[in-house]
Amino acid sequence: MQLNTSIKALHSDRGEEYTLTKFQAYLKSQGTKIKPTTHNTLQHNGIAEQRNCIILERTQTLLHASCFPKMLWAHVVSHVVWLMNQTSSKAIVGKTSFKMVYGKKPDSSGLREWGKEVLVHQRGGDKLGRRAKKSRWIGYDNESNGSQIYYPDTSTIKVEQNFQFVSTSCSKLKEEQVPTSEF
């Protein structure tokens, strides 16, 4: 609806969420064809099912690599889909989904690693107290000009703008790993 286009057909495996009379009436009113497939035949759903598998695998990988709780799965899925829309695919050779929709290449210059450590500015407190709190970046916020920040100590997520990514340079890591001699 946002891009003045409509869904031509909806394939489903007759799941309850798709068989509600009200939902089917809505689809018909929008000109969407309902194409139910046989239960447990993922191969009939083709590309959509393949994309769902890719999204799930990448979500599992990011959650596992970050050691974050499973409760963040929706944020990971959102980030994975955002990344997929920023990169090219076989379906549209030489272009990205972003370019197809907006007519320009996506700007990925500010792209950061999911789960990267950040320091969030903290207001208030005493003069000699901490002014930043370690947290984790979990993606861009679609509704504001901020980022979603995960606070592991309280298991909360807030939208923040006033933060900095913690930088770890490769040279610094190499120096720490090389044993020094005492000559």
Q: What is the pLDDT of residue 152?
A: 93
Element (H, E) at 160: strand 156-160
Q: What confidence score (pLDDT) does residue 183 get?
A: 37
Over its length of 183 residues, how does the chain's per-residue pLDDT go in tens digits? 667 778 888 877 777 777 788 988 999 998 999 888 777 776 666 777 788 888 999 999 999 988 899 999 999 999 999 888 888 777 777 778 888 878 888 887 777 888 999 999 987 767 776 788 999 999 888 788 889 999 999 999 999 998 999 986 554 444 444 444 443
Q: What residue ranges do the domains of the chain occupy?
A: 9-40, 49-103, 112-168
Global pTM? 0.67
Cβ distance 129 to 121 under 8 Å? no
Half-sphere exposure of 106 (CA within 13 A, CB side): 17
Contact 163, 149 (CB under 8 A): yes
The Cα 104–Cα 41 span in angstroms is: 37
Q: What pLDDT is stored for residue 19 in this prediction?
A: 75
